[in-house]
A and B are shown apart, each in its own frame.
Chain A
Amino acid sequence: MRSVIFRTTAHIVIGIMLLFSLYLLLRGHNEPGGGFIGALIAVIAFALMILAESAEYVRQRIHFSPGLIAVSGVGISLFSGLFALFLNRPFLSGIWWKTSLPMGTPLLFDVGVYLAVFGAVLSILLRIVEDLE
């Protein structure tokens, strides 16, 4: 299964998928997409990488522990909600810098969602694969 052709094409496809996942995350506020969908596509990309290489390889490539990514995702989402508190508005109210571009706390929140879902699902995926080996 781990032929040279599969591995080479896999890496290209993975790259495209990750780019696509980021694109979906960023455009989510205006068109179909968003943090969930982006994160799930990224996980599928890494699942492909596990098939092409190994779980260990994936762990090395992402540097951070997936559990840490997941927790920091929740942290970022929480943090994005705190901004509103400084402006005396309810927790998690959206604050915008520039309305023409998606620059505001809701985007930060969505990034948090992305990281949380990505980290959580990937961590289990890696663990199961390692457990099965």
Chain B
Amino acid sequence: MESLLSLITGMLIAAGVYLMLERHILRILFGFILISNGVNLAILTSGRLSKTGLPIIPPGGVMPDTPYANPLSQALILTAIVIGFGVLIFCLVLAYKACQVQESADVNLMNLSEREEK
């Protein structure tokens, strides 16, 4: 089971890295999103996978009944997703502003720290 998700993770990250190496800033953002997804899956996989039980204790119980999915990796992913989302939105705004200032979406042209006075 883990091998399938490992393959998917590897694929997502490889595609994400390829996109991050491109020159158009939107494609770099795409790459960022794919890598985030891949990393989330990687955390899930390394916490082992389970199809048998939810990490939720039934009412009245003190322990999950069946062998349950790892709650720790899930909690870590939740944190990672929200942080990743926050940073992504920041990057998106940054990219949008950078495009406006440089009048281009090519990151290789974005090498001025200050806008040149015209």
Contact, chains A and B (beta carbon distance below 8 A): yes
A residues sitting closer than 8 Å to B (CB atoms) are: 30-32, 36, 117, 120-121, 124, 127-128
Known: A31-B56, A32-B56. A121 touches B78 (CB 8 A): no
Contact across chains for B56 and A121 when beta carbons are under 8 A apart: no
Interface residues on B, range: 10 to 19
**Mask of B59-91 contacts with A, CB within 8 angstroms, 1/0:** 100000000000000000010011001100100
Contact across chains for A124 and B89 when beta carbons are under 8 A apart: yes
Q: Name the residue of chain A whose CB is nearest to the CB of B100.
A: A131
Contact across chains for A36 and B93 when beta carbons are under 8 A apart: no
Q: Name the residue of chain A whose CB is nearest to the CB of B97.
A: A131
Which DSSP category, helix, strand, loop or mixed, fits chain A's interface?
Answer: helix
B residues sitting closer than 8 Å to A (CB atoms) are: 56, 59, 78, 81-82, 85-86, 89, 93, 96
**Closest CB pairs A-B (n = 10):** A124-B89, A36-B82, A36-B78, A117-B82, A120-B86, A124-B93, A31-B56, A128-B93, A121-B89, A32-B56
Whole-angstrom distance between the Cβ of A44 and the nearest chain B Cβ:
13
Whole-angstrom distance between the Cβ of B78 and the nearest chain A Cβ:
6
Q: Name the residue of chain B whose CB is nearest to the CB of A34.
A: B78
Measured in the bound complex, the distance between the Cα atoms of B90 and A120 in whole Å is: 11
Q: Name the residue of chain A whose CB is nearest to the CB of B57.
A: A30
Measured in the bound complex, the distance between the Cα atoms of B89 and A117 in whole Å is: 12
Whole-angstrom distance between the Cβ of B59 and the nearest chain A Cβ:
8
Whole-angstrom distance between the Cβ of B92 and the nearest chain A Cβ:
8
Measured in the bound complex, the distance between the Cα atoms of B83 and A36 in whole Å is: 11
Measured in the bound complex, the distance between the Cα atoms of B84 and A117 in whole Å is: 12
Measured in the bound complex, the distance between the Cα atoms of B89 and A121 in whole Å is: 8
Which residues does chain B contribute within 8 Å of A124, judged by CB atoms? Answer: 89, 93
Would you list 17 pairs from A and B whose C-beta atoms are within 8 A, ordered by A residue?
A30-B56, A30-B59, A31-B56, A32-B56, A36-B78, A36-B81, A36-B82, A117-B82, A120-B86, A121-B85, A121-B86, A121-B89, A124-B89, A124-B93, A127-B93, A128-B93, A128-B96
Which residues does chain A contribute within 8 Å of B85, judged by CB atoms? Answer: 121
Which residues does chain B contribute within 8 Å of A121, judged by CB atoms? Answer: 85-86, 89
